Structures are given as C-alpha cells and as structure tokens.
C-alpha cells in the first residue's frame, strides 16, 4: 500500500477505488493547497494526483524522494515539470479524450453567446431596459455560413470543427504534424471567429499578441478555451477598446482567477467564464476515473493509460 496525495476532492466514485488500494490523503479545502502545504503533503507521498492549479515543478519533485507516479487531472501538463519528472523516472499521466466534447460544447457556446451578444441582452432584461421589440437593438453577428479559424487542430479543435459544420461554417485551421493548414497570419486575416485549442508551450505563450490581433478583422471574435497565457491580455484589452476586433469570449485567463481589478475586465464586448470547459458531471467524473487509473498503473509499475512522458 502506497501513500498518495490528492490535491482536491474530485467528483464521482473514482477516489473510492484509490482509497481501497492505497493510503489516500485528500486536500479538503475549496482552494488549492498553498505551496508550503503542497510541499509538505507531497514530501512523503509515492503517488500524486495534481490539478492544473498546482505547480509541480522541479523543486517539488526533488523534495519528494519517494514520489514515483504523477497523475494530472487535466488534458494539459504545463503545470508539471515533465523534464524533471522524466529525469527521475516518474511517469506523468493526464486526462485527454474524456473532456473533449464538454470543452468543445463550451467553446461553441461562447462563440454563439459572443456573436449574438447574449450577456448584454440578458443584462438589459434584468435592468428593465426591455421596452419593446426594437428592430435595431441588440444586433449581433451571423454564425451560420461564417468562417471559423481553429488554432490547434487536436482532439478538441476537431470536435469544435464538427460542430461548426452543422452551422455550414467554413473551417480553417493551422497545420499539425499530420494535416495541412494555413499559417497563423493567413488564418487570422480570413476568419470571422478564431478559436484557440493549442497547448501552452514557450512557443505559444502570447501567440495572440498585438501583432496577431491587428491581423484579425474588425468584425472578428476571439474564443479561448485552451490556456490563458496563449493570449496577451494587455494587447487584447487594447484591441477591444480600439475596435481592432469586435469581441472576445474567454474561459481561461492569466492568472486564474483573474483579479477583480484587472484592467481587462473593463474592456467592452468581453465575456469571461471561470474555466468551466470540462464542467459537466459526466466529463469530470470520467476525468477522476482516468486520473485514478493512471495513478494506479504508475504505482504498480505498468504503463499509464494516458501517459505524457516516456521515462526510462
């Protein structure tokens, strides 16, 4: 029986399986464990289930000499130092596939909400500003037949493309290792909507910066359900204020949560949701199951069902 630390309570029955096989310490608070608590609880652990809010860096890994399996409760692993884990021979698991449709649904919901200006219209009702049916009020943009540019045609990007086809949209994408595509600049120039689905890497950090935003159409809308740091938020605020683009809908920000005094929040035509891309009961419970499967396999010396690295 190994000692395992789980950095938050997870939905569904998956953790019961983990408790049945290993001594399981679950952080009980709503907020993530502070750094000192994360270090302390991980120090004697052999297994770790982390969330994207937990920084599992080289120092944390070095301070946990017994650690031999990490399972990240997320598709991405940008919060985990993969190089440090691999050097220690620690497998790192993640949870792709099971949240693809939930996140694609949310991306398309944000696209529709931003295009049709639903938050503004809903606030008008609450404010008592619905006087009558007005032909020139709350006008939005057409989605049917528009052009959607997808940056990152992975699992979620392809799922968003499938939804776009139902709206008879022309779908453009950046290239992948197996599929051709457009250079980013050309995609931005041709798209009515741009949806981000690439991983966060040193190359993609601030990929959407002032120069990229300047290439977008003044009627275009940006959607981000990937990682907040892919977008330069200062540049986005300026673009929205100056009308360089028509709007933006973000499910992710940098940092998370965005602070109440962040200047971005004062930008016009902006919709932000609190990182709820995978927030369906089914998706989150399946993420728990897969995170547990990954950890159980890693602790048993078996390949994880979804492993992000290949340690010797």
**Alpha carbons 194 and 216: distance in angstroms, whole number:** 9
- Domains, the chain, in order of start with CATH, read 3-96+281-299 (3.40.50.720), 100-272 (3.40.50.720)
Contact between 228 and 254 under an 8 Å Cβ cutoff? The reply is yes
Contact between 207 and 184 under an 8 Å Cβ cutoff? The reply is yes
Active site residue 206: no
Active site residue 165: no
Write down the catalytic residue from 215, 227, 237, 306. 227
Active site residue 275: yes
Write down the catalytic residue from 197, 275, 284, 306. 275
Per-residue pLDDT of the chain (312 residues; tens, 9 = 90+): 999 999 999 999 999 999 999 999 999 999 999 999 999 999 999 999 999 999 999 999 999 999 999 999 999 999 999 999 999 999 999 999 999 999 999 999 999 999 999 999 999 999 999 999 999 999 999 999 999 999 999 999 999 999 999 999 999 999 998 999 999 999 999 999 999 999 999 999 999 999 999 999 999 999 999 999 999 999 999 999 999 999 999 999 999 999 999 999 999 999 999 999 999 999 999 999 999 999 999 999 999 999 999 865
Contact between 155 and 197 under an 8 Å Cβ cutoff? The reply is no
Count other Cβ atoms within 10 Å, centred on residue 289: 19
Residues in the chain: 312
């Amino acid at each position: 029986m190994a000692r395992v630390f789980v950095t938050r309570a997870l939905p569904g029955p998956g953790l019961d399986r983990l408790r049945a096989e290993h001594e399981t310490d679950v952080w009980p608070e709503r907020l993530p464990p502070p750094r000192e608590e994360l270090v302390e609880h991980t120090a004697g652990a052999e297994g770790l289930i982390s969330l994207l809010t937990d920084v599992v860096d080289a120092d944390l890994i070095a301070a946990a000499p017994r650690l031999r399996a990490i399972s990240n409760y997320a598709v991405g692993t940008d919060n985990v130092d993969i190089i440090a884990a691999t050097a220690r021979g620690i497998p790192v698991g993640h949870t792709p596939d099971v949240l693809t449709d939930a996140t694609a649904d949310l991306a398309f919901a944000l696209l529709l909400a931003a295009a049709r200006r639903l938050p503004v219209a809903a606030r008008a009702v609450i404010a008592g500003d619905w006087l009558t049916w007005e032909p020139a009020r709350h006008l939005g943009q057409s989605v049917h037949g528009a052009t959607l540019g997808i940056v990152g045609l992975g699992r979620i990007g392809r799922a968003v493309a499938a939804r776009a086809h139902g709206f008879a949209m022309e779908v453009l994408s950046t290239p992948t290792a197996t599929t051709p595509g457009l250079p980013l600049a050309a995609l931005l120039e041709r798209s009515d909507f741009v949806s981000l689905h690439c991983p966060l890497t040193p190359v993609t950090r601030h990929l959407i910066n002032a120069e990229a935003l300047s290439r977008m159409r003044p009627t275009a809308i940006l959607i981000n359900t990937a990682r907040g740091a892919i977008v330069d938020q200062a540049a986005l605020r300026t673009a929205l204020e100056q009308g360089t683009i028509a709007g933006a809908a973000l499910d992710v920000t940098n940092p998370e949560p965005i602070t109440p005094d962040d200047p971005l929040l004062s930008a016009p035509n902006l919709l932000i949701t609190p990182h709820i891309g995978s927030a369906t009961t089914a998706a989150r419970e399946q993420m728990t199951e897969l995170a547990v499967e990954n950890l159980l396999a890693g602790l048993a010396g078996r390949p994880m069902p979804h492993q992000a690295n290949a340690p010797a």
